[in-house]
Amino acid sequence: MFGDINFKADVVNGVCPTCAQNTILVSITQDFFRCITCGSDLKQHVNGKISYIPHVNSPEKVRFEAPENG
């Protein structure tokens, strides 16, 4: 049906920046991972160290809010 398709998934341990849980991250493409705990998609950036940044589909919809003073 699909012919000869090869899939390769990377599985790594890490802390998800979205849910803050120590979890397993599974690659869905070469530089995108999905947290198996909360399901968020994370983009891998390499700047001397590997960090996982939450992936944003619509950057124009991102809002920055200042914390309220108690």
Q: Domain-by-domain residue ranges, the chain?
A: 11-56
Q: Summarize pLDDT for 6-40 with one digit per residue, the tens.
A: 777 888 888 888 899 999 999 878 788 889 999 88
The mean of the pLDDT values for the chain is: 78
The reply to whether the predicted model has a pTM over 0.75 is no
Residue 49: the pLDDT is 60
pLDDT band at 59 (very low <50, low <70, confident <90, very high): low
Q: By the 8 A CB rule, do 40 and 54 touch? A: yes
